[in-house]
Amino acid sequence: KQEVTQIPAALSVPEGENLVLNCSFTDSAIYNLQWFRQDPGKGLTSLLLIQSSQREQTSGRLNASLDKSSGRSTLYIAASQPGDSATYLCAVKGYGQNFVFGPGTRLSVLP
Amino acid sequence: ETGVTQTPRHLVMGMTNKKSLKCEQHLGHNAMYWYKQSAKKPLELMFVYSLEERVENNSVPSRFSPECPNSSHLFLHLHTLQPEDSALYLCASSQLWEDRGVHEQYFGPGTRLTVT
């Protein structure tokens, strides 16, 4: 059974810092991995989707990497802003299976 | 706007009530999902509908009853709920390709349910 963990559980940084969020999964036979952002009490917004054949994806200040062999993905946020404050979730999809979500990392970017 | 809408956004119901949550997707997708998000727990997949057929039911109690009348609409009928069912209920949709699996999931804003 696929299990997904995220470290750290919470992170507080001053504005302007570059930061890395981590996602680990136990079964490396994945189809894709998706990073989401969730604001308090709201739904999830898709940030980046990485197919299993890809190593990374970039969108603006966000860069996500995938290392299937080690069961890890990282989300890099450059030049963080207070508007980046949210919970970040990763979700892994295995072949023939549905998405399994991690518990999330709660990010606070201080002005 | 994500292209997936949910109503109502907030719902308070007693344990003897019957209510329904509604989800509508405007993305032309062929798969829809119900998730439950409780405080301090990861998102839990409840039901999956693919091409209007239920393809997964993750041991969800029978007091939750899904309905998918067409590829754009998904309902979650609720009856005799318990206080521990209070949570954020999220709907999502995606395009499911037979030969390539599912692509990105798009989520609605959720319904905050409180059972008293």
State the DSSP string of B21-75. EEEEE-S--SEEEEEEE-TTS--EEEEEEETTEEEEE-S--TTEEEEEEETTEEE
The confidence band for B32, taking pLDDT boundaries of 50, 70 and 90, is: very high
User: CA of A18: how far to CAs of A32, A79, A81, A104, B68, in Å?
Assistant: 25, 5, 10, 18, 44
SS (H, E, C) B95-116: CEECCCEECCCEECCCEEEEEC
Nearest CB to A44: which of B42, B45, B107?
B107
Query: What confidence tier does B2 reach under pLDDT thresholds 50, 70, 90?
Result: low
pLDDT mean for each 10 residues of chain A (111 residues): 93 96 94 93 91 92 96 97 97 82 96 94
- Residue B42's pLDDT band, with cuts at 50, 70 and 90, is confident
- Predicted pLDDT of residue B101: 59
Chain B touched by A4 (CB under 8 Å):
yes
Higher-confidence position of B42 and A15 = A15
Query: Is residue B99 pLDDT above 70, yes or no?
Result: no
More confident residue, B75 or B102: B75
pLDDT in tens, B44-98: 999 988 877 777 777 899 999 999 999 899 999 999 999 999 999 999 999 876 6
For residue B40, pLDDT beyond 80: no
Is residue B95 within 8 Å of residue B31, measured between CB atoms?
A: yes
Residue A48 near chain B (CB below 8 Å): no
Residue B43 has pLDDT above 80, yes or no: yes
pLDDT of amino acid A93:
87
Q: CB-based contact (8 Å) between A55 and chain B?
A: no
pLDDT of B1 strictly over 80: no
Q: Do A43 and B102 touch (CB under 8 A)?
A: no
What's the one-letter identity of residue B27?
L
Cross-chain Cβ contact B107/A36 below 8 Å: yes
pLDDT of residue B16: 87
Q: Is B29 on the interface with A (CB under 8 A)?
A: no
pLDDT confidence tier of residue B100, bands split at 50, 70 and 90 = low
Per-residue pLDDT, B59:
80
Q: Which of A4, A45, A49 has its CB closest to that of B2?
A: A45
pLDDT for B18 equals: 93
